[in-house]
Structure 1
Amino acid sequence: MREEIQAYVSLGSNSGDAARMLQLAREALGNLPHVRLGASSPIYTTEPQGFADQPWFLNQVVELFVASSWQACSFVEALLQMEASLGRVRSADPALRFGPRAIDADLLLFGQQRSDDARCLVPHPRLTQRAFALVPLLDVAPGIHIDGISATDWLSRLKFEKNGQRISQ
């Protein structure tokens, strides 16, 4: 059997049917060649970051087992294609970079690999600043470390509130 890479992807949507979009994204991830789904975190309702005037998001993290034939950048390309196929349109306006979206799929971690390539920064450059990514990541990988520091420690450095399945930051 081929060696596998354990990867984590954050999914988010604030479309009118966000729960369905997350389901479609999970199915699409499971249909990628040489990728199998692992655990999925609960779905959280989360406060928008960087562009507040929009509906709150549904977010979750999915664990994936990816064949070693994948590289971080090729995997990010597959995520971008999946987003487009599910209706994601990226605005040319930098002010809307963190605006509303049908689906968002961010590669958080790709095994122990690191990438400084602008097309596929791994670990995700804002992972340690986002409770909406760290909380569900800890649901599926409670002992995980990011840059040698436990995700629990990173989370403890953030100012956020978690009330059931609702996260504000």
Structure 2
Amino acid sequence: MIKAYIGLGANLGDALVSLQQAASELSATPGITGLRLSRFYRSAPVDASGPDYINAVAEIHTRLPATDLLAALQVIENHHGRLRPYRNAPRTLDLDLLLYGERVINTPELTVPHPRMHERAFVLRPLQELAPALQLHQGTLSMLLQACSDQILSVVPDQDHKA
């Protein structure tokens, strides 16, 4: 089994409900077990415009190859009406494979570790919640969070974040 981390985000429709449903769908996906979900966070779009995002990170254990896991994530996104009209467009659901064990993958379809996760507080904070000792190639999560301290995050209140 491989431990993987998935970034979840949405800023269209009922984003919180979409993320909760996506976490349940991830948990029910054959080949995925032991899903743990961070709290949900609200953040302004980075390098984009539109409504605020709701974000979280899920930790899973999987026996799916990375490309099959990516395909499963895309099925869930499509189920939630995900469109890709242009880069960084607002979205009903975004599921990003952040880490897949210790593996480094660089193909036209998939880059792992996710190439911009170390610059995104909305990924780093929930990731730190799940794996505080985790260190990325670029540094510790605390150090990386300090570098993006200008990105404001707030915890979404009154939530049941257990998938």
List aligned pairs for 1:89-128, cutoff 5 A.
89-91=83-85, 96-128=86-118
Matched-pair contact (CA < 8 Å) for 1:37–1:62: no
Q: RMSD of aligned C-alpha atoms?
A: 1.6
TM-score, normalised on structure 1? Answer: 0.86
Q: 1:80 aligns with which of 56, 74, 85?
A: 74
2:57 counterpart of 1:61: yes
CA gap of 1:56–1:148, structure 2 versus 1, over 3 A, is closer
- How far does residue 128 in structure 1 lie from its aligned partner after superposition? 0.5
2:41 counterpart of 1:47: no
Amino acid at match of 1:120: L
CA distance in 1, matches of 2:126, 2:47: 20
Count of residues paired in the alignment? 156
Query: Which secondary structure state, in structure 1, belongs to the residue aligned with residue 67 of structure 2?
Result: helix
CA distance in 2, matches of 1:87, 1:46: 21
Q: Structure 1, residues 20-42: CA drift from partner, whole Å, max 9, x if none?
A: 10011001101111101432111
Matched-pair contact (CA < 8 Å) for 1:29–1:37: no
CA distance in 2, matches of 1:161, 1:86: 27
Q: What are the ranges of 5 or more consecutive residues in structure 1 without an aligned counterpart?
A: none
Q: 1:7 aligns with which of 4, 14, 26?
A: 4
Matched-pair contact (CA < 8 Å) for 1:72–1:122: no
Amino acid at match of 1:97: R
CA gap of 1:158–1:24, structure 2 versus 1, over 3 A, is same
Q: Structure 1, residues 87-131: CA drift from partner, whole Å, max 9, x if none?
A: 11111xxxx311211000001101101101121100000000111
- How far does residue 161 in structure 1 lie from its aligned partner after superposition? 4.5
2:24 counterpart of 1:27: yes
Matched-pair contact (CA < 8 Å) for 2:118–2:138: no
TM-score, normalised on structure 2? Answer: 0.89
Matched-pair contact (CA < 8 Å) for 2:43–2:154: no
